[in-house]
Amino acid sequence: MGKSVLFIHSAGPQGNGEGSSGLVAHLEKSLEGYEVRSPPMPAPENPRYEEWKAVLKEEIFRMPDGALLIGHSIGGSALLKFFLEEEGDCRFDALISIAAPFWGIDKEWMKEDFTIAENAFLNRKHLPLLFLFHSLHDEVVPFRHLERYAEQLPDALIECLDQNDHLFLQGLPLLSKSIKNM
């Protein structure tokens, strides 16, 4: 078996044609020889960080060295928070965040348990190689969220997608291509 991928899904329903299902299906199809693991996260329609953190700890512990970690939307927020506040672990090849909200950016985006502590960004040297993907015209999570992450994480590699997609139900070919080129 080739490389391992841990995919942490978005909030909301995760059935066929919902949530992160299109991204996961596209990765499974396009990354031949990769093992794509996408565990169900607790209460996706009302996510709580402490519950997600418990699953992240378990899943990340199980992943082999050199694995890729991918988080979509709140899944990206959760992975970033976890690695910045809990467990800097550079044994992974990359952490990839797709359309992640920057919680606390303003009053509309307040989810205190997913908000990253301001001083946690000082721990960024403990992050694996970091990629941030975001649509310029994302209709769910505005592009300014990516801009805020870019300010706080200046070493991140940024992929600005000239589209308005957030769920990527048809997949994200640039993501697969980037993974294959690592």
What pLDDT score does 81 carry?
Answer: 96
Task: Categorize the per-residue pLDDT at 41 as very low, low, confident or very high, splitting at 50, 70 and 90.
Answer: very high
CA distance 107 to 69: 29
Under the banding of pLDDT at 50, 70 and 90, the label for residue 175 is: very high
Ordered structural domains, the chain, with CATH: 9-180 (3.40.50.1820)
pLDDT of residue 2: 77
DSSP assignments along 55-89, one per residue: HHHHHHHHSPTT-EEEEETHHHHHHHHHHHHT---
User: How does residue 29 score in pLDDT terms, banded at 50, 70 and 90?
Assistant: very high
Total residue length of the chain: 182
